[in-house]
Each structure stands twice: as C-alpha cells, then as structure tokens.
Structure 1
Amino acid sequence: MRLYRCVASVTVAVALVLSAPYDALPYAGVAAGETEEPPLFGAECRTGVEGSHVVAHCHNPYVDIDRVRLHIECDRWWDLDTDSAPVDTEPAMTVRLTGRCWMEVRSVWISHQNRGS
C-alpha cells in the first residue's frame, strides 16, 4: 500500500510539471542557440583559521559593489557563533574581515550581497 502511495504522488508531481505553460519553464526566455550569461559579480574571498582566530581577505575585481560578511560557527555548544558587520567591497578593493571563537572553530563562510554600481 505504501509503494502505491509513493508511485501515485510521483506520478501527480510529474503530470503537474509537464502540464505547466511554456512561459513558466526556466528556459522559455532564451532563444535557440543563445546562452544567457550571468553578470560578473562577487568578491573573491580567502579565509584562514589559526586556533580560535579567523581572518578573511576579499578582493572585488568587478564593477559592482559587493557587500561581504564573515560568518563563524564555533565548535562548542556554549560558544557564541558570530557574524561580522557588512563591509562594502568597492571595485578593485580588498577588505580584511576578522573574528574569533573562545575555543575551536567549526566552520567559516562569507556571504555576498550585490550593492550595484
């Protein structure tokens, strides 16, 4: 009985996707032979962790301003995770972001937001 329910729900999902109008499909706006190029955007960031300290350097080689933030997830449950203040990285500019945990660092990542030109 469970297998029948699973097959039935998959069949309904496929039927809904196939019955969608042509304009709703993701490739509908691109003519045959054309490829839609995404705009060039985003600072290139490198992060380094040494003990409980984190340093990130972000360089923006593009025209649009990239607002970057450093996010740090600490390993211990009682250690507070941190997010840096957003920093605008203008064209041809390099910024340095720092942060730390009290003990070990679990993960580090950078978020980007397009601020336009």
Structure 2
Amino acid sequence: MRLFRSLAPVTAAAALVLCLPYEALSHPRAERPEPFGAECRTVVRGSHVVAYCHNPYAETDRVRLHIECDRWWDLDTDGAPADAGPAVTVRLSGRCWKEVRSAWVSHQKG
C-alpha cells in the first residue's frame, strides 16, 4: 500500500504530461511584442494634406507623411520625420500643386 501512495503523484504527473499537445511540449512560450505605433488620421482637402498622429504607447514613434500627387508633372513629397513621444500628438502637413492621388504615414521606432 505504501508503494501505491508514493507512485500515485508520479503517475498523475506523467499522465498530465502525456495529455499535453505536442506544440506545448516542444516550443517555449512566445513573448508578446510590445505595442507600438501612433494612430494617425489623414485629411485631404483639395491639394493640401494634414495628418494628426497620436502615440498612446511608451516608446517614441518617428512618423513621416508621404504624398503622391495625381498629375505626372507634380512632384511627390516625403515630409520630414517627426518624433511622436509617449502621449504626444504631432501634426504633419504637405501639399501638391494640383490634386492629391494618395497620402499615407510611415512609422519607425525612434
């Protein structure tokens, strides 16, 4: 009877390990990446573009406004980068001579 009592915990532990899926045994638990990236709102009015980027996270986000103009002779622009620190909102602006085809904001860890 004493042998059964001493083997019971070992048997229960072995049964639990054997019931785990293979992925749980072979791969260490992956760490979640830290959240990153400012939330940007872009507004196009005629030939002018304005983007407001708010960074709710602890790491600085270097944001940059890119504008593609509709006319072939109108120069596309890449604005200067601006650092959006933690809990900071930055304003980015630019323009084309005529119509704007598209505008977007790129993000880089600062």
Identify the TM-score tier after normalising by the shorter chain.
0.7 to 0.9
- Segments ≥4 residues shifted beyond 3 Å: none
How many corresponding residue pairs? 85
Larger-gyration structure (1/2): 2
Scaled by the length of structure 2, the TM-score of the pair is: 0.73
| 1:48 corresponds to 2:54 | no
CA distance in 2, matches of 1:110, 1:87: 11
Q: Note if 1:74 corresponds to 2:69.
A: yes
- Tell whether 2:35 aligns with 1:31: no
Shift of 1:35: 4.7
TM-score between the two structures when normalised by the length of structure 1: 0.69
For the residue of structure 2 that corresponds to 1:77, the secondary structure is: coil
Identity among equivalent pairs (%):
71
For residues 34-91 of structure 1, the C-alpha deviation after alignment (integer angstroms, 9 at most, x for no partner) is 4542220000000000000000000000000000000000000000000110000000
**2:60 corresponding residue in structure 1:** 65
Distance in 2, Cα, partners of 1:61 & 1:96: 15
What is the Cα-based RMSD across aligned positions, in Å? 1.4
